[in-house]
Amino acid sequence: MVEMMSPRPRVLHLLSGWKWVEPAPSIVDLCRRLSRHGHVVDLACARAPEGQPNSLEQNARERHVDPILDFRLEKSFNPFIPLINLPDIHRLTEFLDREEVQIVHVHTAHDHYIGSRAARRANNQPSVVRTNHLGSPLPLTLRNRRVVRSHTDGWVALSSSCRDEDARNFELNPARAIAVEAAVDLERFNPAASRTDVRPALGWSSEHVVAGYVSPSESGPNFERVMQSFAKAMQSEPLLRLLVIGRGTQRAARELGIADRAVFAGYRVVDYADYLAAMDFEIFPAPGSDGSCPVAREAMAMGKPVIAGRSGLLPELVENGRCGLVVDESAAEKLAEAVARLARNRSLREKLGRAAAAKAKEKFDIERQAEAIADLYRRMAGGG
C-alpha cells in the first residue's frame, strides 16, 4: 500500500503524442494509482486530432485521469524547430511556476527535452525524473548524452542491470536511480478468475495443447519465425495448435500447410484475457516496440509459461527454466525445439506456469510500482 503523505511534492507527468500506445496505459495507471493515495499528480499529453478514436486523451479520461492538453508535445524529437518547441517550453514554464510543481516526470526523449528546459527556467527549479521504458540501456547517442547528463535528477529503469548501466553511461546519481518492474493489471489477469472457455468456439478441446502468439505484425521476422517454428514442432506433436492474436492472416499458415492447426483471432479487447486463458504457453521472440514486454507479463500473470528470445530484458524477465524457456530467437529451429518440448511435457508447463504467476504477483503489482516511485519522489523532494 502506498503510504499516505502531504499533497507535496506536486508531480507533472509529460507524455508526448496523442496515440494510445505503450507505454501510455502503464503511465496513466501509475498516475491514477498515485492520485488515489493522496498524491497531487497531473498528466500532460498532446490533444488528439478531431475525430481520432482510441486516443490517449480519451482512454485517460475513461480511467479517471483528466489530462492537461495545453501543450503541443509533438511525438517526434526535433530540437531544431524553435517555432514548435519554444512556445511549449514557455507555456510549460508558466505552468510549473503557477502550479508550484516540484517534480517533472518525463517518459520520452521529446518529453525530456521540453520538460528539462522548462524546469531549468522555472522559479522553483523542479526536479526532472526520467523513466527508461526500453527494457534495455538507453542508447549513448549525442542527443541522449546532451539531454540526460545535463538535465536529469532521478531515474527509473525496468531492471537492475539496465538501471546500473544507464547510471554509468550518463553519470547519474545512483542514490536517485531505481529499478522497478513494469506493472500489470493483476486483477484482470488473475489465473483464478472465472473465464469464458473460448476453445470450443475455436474448434479445440481440452486435449489440445495451444501455443499462443500475440502478433504486432504479419510481415516481420518474428511472425515468420513463429510460424516456421510451429510448423516444424507440429510434425512431432499432433495435438499442438496455434492461436494468433493481433495482426496475422491465414496466408502464411496455408503456405506452410498448417491452416487446419492455426486460428487467427484478430484483435481482442473485452475478451482478451479469455483468449490468453485458452493458451497453454506463449511464444514471445522479441520485445518489439515496447521494451517492457507487457504481453509476456500478462501471460505470466495468467500462469502461462513463456518461450522468449534473448534480447532486451526477456532473459531477466522469464529466467530460463523458471518462468519459461529462453532461446535464440534468430533461429526458428531453436524456437521449434522449445515449442515441442513444452507441448509434450504437461508437468513442465504447469511447473513453469506456477512460477510465472508467483513472480507476477510479487513483482508486477501496480501498488509495488507506485510505492517505489512515490518513495523516489519523497526522497528527491526532501533532498535525499
Q: What is the mean pLDDT of residues 343-366?
A: 97
Cis peptide before 9 (omega within 30 of 0): yes
Q: What is the mean pLDDT of the chain?
A: 91
Q: What is the mean pLDDT of residues 240-268?
A: 89
How is 62-80 classified by DSSP, letter by letter? HTT---B--S---SS--TT
Rounded Cα distance, 344 and 119, in Å? 57
Tell me the percentage of the chain whose pLDDT exceeds 90.
78
Q: What is the pLDDT of residue 7?
A: 44
Q: Where does the pLDDT of residue 5 fall: very low under 50, low under 70, confident under 90, or very high at 90 and above? A: very low
Contact 125, 91 (CB under 8 A): no
Domains in the chain, CATH or no CATH each: 11-183+365-381 (3.40.50.2000), 199-363 (3.40.50.2000)
Q: What is the mean pLDDT of residues 207-211?
A: 98
Q: What is the pLDDT of residue 84?
A: 73
Q: What is the mean pLDDT of residues 184-201?
A: 95
Instruction: Kindly report which listed range (70-74, 84-88, 227-231, 241-245) carries the lowest average pLDDT score.
Output: 84-88
Q: What is the mean pLDDT of residues 186-200?
A: 95
Pick 27 or 329 by higher pLDDT.
27
Q: Is the pLDDT of residue 335 over 60?
A: yes
How is 249-300 classified by DSSP, letter by letter? -HHHHHHHT-TTTEEEEE--STTHHHHHHT-SEEEE---TT-TT-HHHHHHH
Q: Three-state DSSP class for 332?
A: helix
Predicted confidence (pLDDT) per residue in 67-79, tens digit:
999 999 987 655 5
pTM of the model: 0.87
Q: What is the pLDDT of residue 80?
A: 54
Q: Helices (DSSP H) in 81-159: which residue ranges?
A: 82-98, 109-121, 142-150
Predicted confidence (pLDDT) per residue in 286-302, tens digit:
887 778 899 999 999 99
Contact 372, 310 (CB under 8 A): no
